[in-house]
Amino acid sequence: MIKRRRFLNVATSSLGGFSMAYLLGSCSQQSQKNVANSSSSLAIKTKVLRMGYQSAGDLVRNRQVLEKRLDPLGIKVEWLQFAQGPQLMEGMAARRVDIGSVGETPPIFAQVAGSDIVYVVGTQRNAGTGRSSVIAVPPESPLTKFEEIKGQEVYFQKGSASHYFMLRALQSIGLTIKDIKIKSMATIEARAAFLEGKIPVWMTGDPHYAIAEKMNRIRVLRDSVGLDSPGGYYIADRKFAQENPGVLKILIEELHALDKWAEVNRDEVKKLMITQQKLDEDVAERVMSRRTFAGRRGLSPALIAEQQRVADLFFKEGVIPKKINISDALLPSDLYAAITPPEIMV
């Protein structure tokens, strides 16, 4: 993890001159830097891929699927851990991370702060998505329902996916974000205090939720099911993405395949949680009971519109100081078509 710092203001570079002629090479020009698993090859310049992941863990890291694809190309994968999405975005702004996985909210805050990022691929959602993210109180709390939250101190990481979750949950009962007292704290930092009954309202997710459940120290007021989040994303530093579209293609292909594998090998995923994340077996069981593997979603016009809706809501509610355009954090559409499997471009 890195210490929190202000996002660096970096100039937004144009992709106008980034043509497919630069990206697509002929078979005769292929080298160790080129990806040749399709009819065309995409440029790869890097020798190191710095992947950011959050403290809750990352199945991509645990399964080492990127290493299996990139090692033969002479590319080393380095993993950097961060408390949550906002910290990961700060690491990317500081040019310590090339690609990372975050919720729908962190890239919006990063874009507001001037970070030069691009969306790589999104996440599908289904009817069960959101059961692992909750707004909760200690068992002894006088609060009995979510509608009683007005005026309460609520602990969550500002700029994280919890921020959008809370905003939409409050909207559903006719309140605004100004009707609560936000105390910004990373989930992993807040857990111990919550378990001791020192935090009145906590927004959390698995595995922290499952750990608190095991200890009988949590009572859920509501989860995030049905609150119309577009889902999470893999985000990249723009310069890295421009120079390494072949790496992006490999990443998306491996994510797509990993989701399919995980859905039919849920016991294997649970074992990885136990061995790699050091979770107790019963905690891992609880996590898996709520976890979905709905698959990836390409940066289609429909998904871009959904993410724009989130950004517009943050601006409308006064959470961010200026209106932003998600299109400013995108790669050219023809590049997305080149790196994204057609079946997930929905």
Structure tokens at 337: 């078509």
Would you say 129 and 225 are in contact if contact means Cβ atoms under 8 Å apart?
A: yes
CATH of 133-223, one of 3.40.50.11740, 3.40.190.10, 3.40.50.300, 1.20.1250.20: 3.40.190.10
Q: What is the pLDDT along the chain (346 residues), one digit of tens a residue?
A: 344 434 333 333 333 333 333 333 333 333 333 333 432 479 999 999 999 999 878 999 999 999 999 999 999 999 999 999 999 999 999 999 999 999 999 999 999 999 999 999 999 998 889 999 999 999 999 999 999 999 999 999 999 999 999 999 999 999 999 999 999 999 999 999 999 999 999 999 999 999 999 999 999 999 999 888 999 999 999 999 999 999 999 999 999 999 999 999 999 999 999 999 999 999 999 999 999 999 999 999 999 999 999 999 999 999 999 999 999 999 999 999 999 999 999 9
Structure tokens at 241: 């993405």
Q: What angle do CA 112, 14, 20 make, to 5 degrees?
A: 130
Is the torsion defined by CA of 258, 261, 264, 265 positive or negative? negative
- Residues near 164 by beta carbon (within 8 Å), at least 6 away in sequence: 103, 104, 105, 227, 229, 310, 313, 314
Question: Do the domains 133-223 and 48-126+230-275+292-344 match in fold?
Answer: yes
> Domain extents for the chain?
48-126+230-275+292-344, 133-223
Asked if the 48-126+230-275+292-344 domain carries CATH number 2.60.120.260, the reply is no
